[in-house]
Amino acid sequence: MSSSLEPELSAALEAALVRELLATYRQLNDSFFRGALRTPTIELSRLRHHLGRWVAATRTIEISRPLVLEQRWGAVVEVLKHEMAHQYVHDVLGETDQAPHGKAFRDACARLGVDARASGVPDVHADPAEQKLVERVARLLALAESPNRHEAEAAMAAAQRLMLKHNLDASHAARGAHAGRDYGFLHLGKPTGRVAEHERLVAMILGQHFFVEAIWVPVYRPLEGLRGSVLEICGTRANLSIADYVHGFLHTTAERLWRDHKAARAIRGDRERRTYLAGVMVGSADKLVRQAARSKSEGLVWVKDGDLGGYFRRRHPYIRHVRHAGHRRTDAWSDGREAGRSIVLHKPVEARAEPRPGRPLLLQPRAPRG
């Protein structure tokens, strides 16, 4: 019996879901395993204590139905990767005597860019040392609620400077200890069928100014039977938490500015909304570029962490770059750009021990299961 809280799928949607899992399997097989795996049967199970399972006797990969229907698609893909690594050890390496998560499995995961510890379910408990940074930045950003614009801008500049210094110090410490930093990834926002210009600009802002790598990845919405895209960011947990906040803040603030603009200009419709939002994001980027130039003049120069680049490339071995035409530079775009240049972060980052419904989840490695 299914849980009363678990959504139900029609026969057509369930068939479409299995087809999508098979298509994802084939794409992962090509990208991570160079086509070495023979496609198994993929089944949905009602079990919750096994998120996924490779059953060698029947050549089946089982994926938990509650996982697919209750978690983000990114978690489903991580579980599928994990089980494919088990299949690789069994089918390609011929290892049948070791423990399920033994040396052969761990070595295969390391070589193939699959996290041997991940079971797919997100966990939001941050590293205690980095959580202190998040809390310090939160206190600085809380000061930005000041009605005095100069005080607010000073608080924002201090927060960015603190982030910059922390990342520089952490990178130097990691190099000195010959150890890499601990990275994770996060999916931001709701999956969408078409990515608007202002959404792409927010991704650019996060990637250039907030110490994360950003990429749009394909996802599937099983309850709707539709494909879409979602923004993925990679970085340390502290940087992910702060970038998560900035992402939500920019979108919320841009929508508020558009409503204010409509009221001030007595505009009735939303025909120019996306153009205005794109202008807001360009204005925000302009401001961040000026702040970065000031930091550089003081000798604080961030060079992207090579370990982060390696983590990012392992997650995405083949990246396709696509150019998109932007909105026409109308009066609405110019007004939005001017408004974006005045944006100041004004709410603190929240330290969350548990995920809130509807919020993006930090996909953090946890003890392997199945």
d(CA 284, CA 205): 8
For the chain, give the percent of residues with pLDDT over 70. 69
pLDDT in tens, 103-150: 888 888 877 767 776 555 555 455 676 777 777 776 766 665 555 545
Kindly indicate the confidence band of residue 355, based on its pLDDT and cuts at 50, 70 and 90. Answer: very low
Instruction: Tell me the residue length of the chain.
Output: 370
| Amino acid 107: pLDDT | 84
Task: Please provide residue 165's backbone torsions phi and psi, each rounded to the nearest 5 degrees.
Answer: -65, -40
d(CA 232, CA 216): 6
For the chain, give the percent of residues with pLDDT over 90. 28
Is the pLDDT higher at 355 or at 201?
A: 201
Contact 261, 267 (CB under 8 A): yes
Q: Which of 55-59, 115-119, 317-321, 358-362 has the highest mean pLDDT?
A: 55-59
Average of per-residue pLDDT across 229-243: 88
Nearest Cα to Cα of residue 79 among 93, 90, 63: 63
For the record, the structure tokens of 242 come out as: 């702060």
Kindly indicate the confidence band of residue 357, based on its pLDDT and cuts at 50, 70 and 90. Answer: very low
**Residues whose CB falls within 8 Å of the CB of residue 132, separated by 6 or more in sequence, listed in order:** none
pLDDT in tens, 276-294: 899 888 888 887 788 788 8
The DSSP-derived string for 53-101 is EEEGGGTEEEEEHHHHHHS-HHHHHHHHHHHHHHHHHHHTS---SS-TT
Q: What is the CATH number of domain 11-112?
A: 3.30.2010.10
Average of per-residue pLDDT across 271-276: 89
Kindly indicate the confidence band of residue 310, based on its pLDDT and cuts at 50, 70 and 90. Answer: confident
Tell me how crowded residue 257 is: count the other CB atoms within 10 A of its CB: 22
d(CA 139, CA 158): 11
Strands (E), 199-356: 213-221, 226-235
Domain boundaries, the chain: 11-112, 128-352
Q: What is the pTM of this model?
A: 0.78
Q: Which of 54-68, 103-117, 158-172 has the highest mean pLDDT?
A: 54-68
d(CA 150, CA 172): 33
The DSSP-derived string for 280-325 is HHHHHHHHHHHHHHHHHHTT------HHHHHHHHHH-SS-------
For the record, the structure tokens of 143 come out as: 């000061």
| Amino acid 344: pLDDT | 58
| Amino acid 333: pLDDT | 66
